[in-house]
Amino acid sequence: MSAARELARTPATEKAAGDSLRRFTREPYYLPAADEVAIFEHAHANRLAVMLKGPTGCGKTRFVEHMAWRLGRPLMTVACHDDLTASDLVGRFLVTGEATVWQDGPLTRAVRHGAICYLDELVEARQDTTVVIHPLADHRRILPIDKTGELIDAADGFQLVISYNPSYQHALKDLKPSTRQRFISLEFGFLDAAQEARIVAHEGGVDRADAGALVALAHRLRALQDRGLAEVPSTRLLVAAAQLIASGVGRRRASDVAVVTPLCDEPTLLAAMRDLVDATFA
């Protein structure tokens, strides 16, 4: 990007890239699936970068928030998109009145503050972002800022975490092996029925019977993947249905608007899913 175009970008763009460090004073609720909490702690202690792989709505973001709280680190989250450049992460010169001032981007702020930096769906970002990620994700732990000539050593506690949804990827958009091999990887999926019901009850404010029924519905719907359902319902959707039920919406209606309708537009599949709702809440 040309310097002129870059200077013209407003601070609002910075906000869109996400630039605030969050500090957790209360524990974000997270129910582990296996040993991921311990593995992450070991990775943190050994200054290893971590990749979280898994479908949407299965707890990746919540896990990072929980780990930031557990490790007592601030958290910087950046939602990556296909227009996100290295400058969006590192920072840029901004014109404020007469002066031109350097403004750190979210990655630089995380590096200076020893924060956990969570790059959500990094694969979406422009290729030039790998240039700044690589030296931070390996033993060097440095961030070179070409535009200012600075070379920053990451503060203690800094840790790079990226997420990756394998089902969205196709041949043209994949992480390069040289990127992948800088991260240890934790796989996320949906928890077993009893555990998922605990989450739905906790997060959605419903009793175990309703939570169990929503999870049973999810299992029936997830089985439709073989019949062409591209995205299966996530724990997030079950929590949304539970919240509607807890606030007085009928069980079938809540399941329809929160779980079934978001999933697809195809009339035959929608009808098949609504039959499963009726069977679940008969």
Q: Which residues bind ligand ATP (CB under 6 A)?
A: 29-31, 54, 56-62, 165, 199, 203, 235-236, 239
Query: Shortest distance, CB of residue 31 to ligand ATP, whole angstroms?
Result: 4
Work out whether 77 is an interface residue with Mg ion (CB under 5 A).
no
Strands 91-96 and 142-145: unpaired
How far does CA 224 lie from the centroid of its chain?
25
Collapsing DSSP states into helix, strand and coil, what is residue 161?
strand
| Partner that binds at residue 273, options Mg ion, ligand ATP, none, CB closer than 5 to 8 Å by kind | none
Work out whether 165 is an interface residue with Mg ion (CB under 5 A).
no
The smaller minimum CB distance to Mg ion, of residues 61 and 179, is found at 61
Query: Shortest distance, CB of residue 120 to Mg ion, whole angstroms?
Result: 6
Residue pair 213/281 in contact (Cβ under 8 Å)? The answer is yes
Work out whether 234 is an interface residue with Mg ion (CB under 5 A).
no
Residue pair 154/111 in contact (Cβ under 8 Å)? The answer is yes
d(CA 277, CA 271): 10
DSSP structure class, residue 154: P
d(CA 18, CA 78): 5
Task: Name the closest residue to ligand ATP (Cβ).
Answer: 59
Residue pair 111/135 in contact (Cβ under 8 Å)? The answer is no
Residue 133 tokens read as 């990620």
| Partner that binds at residue 168, options ligand ATP, Mg ion, none, CB closer than 5 to 8 Å by kind | none
Q: Which stretch binds Mg ion (CB under 5 A): 4-12, 58-66, 70-78, 216-224?
A: 58-66
Work out whether 61 is an interface residue with Mg ion (CB under 5 A).
yes
Query: Shortest distance, CB of residue 164 to ligand ATP, whole angstroms?
Result: 9
Using CA atoms, how far residue 271 sits from 92, 261, 264, in Å, is 51, 10, 11
Query: Shortest distance, CB of residue 62 to ligand ATP, whole angstroms?
Result: 4
Interface with Mg ion (CB under 5 A): 60-61
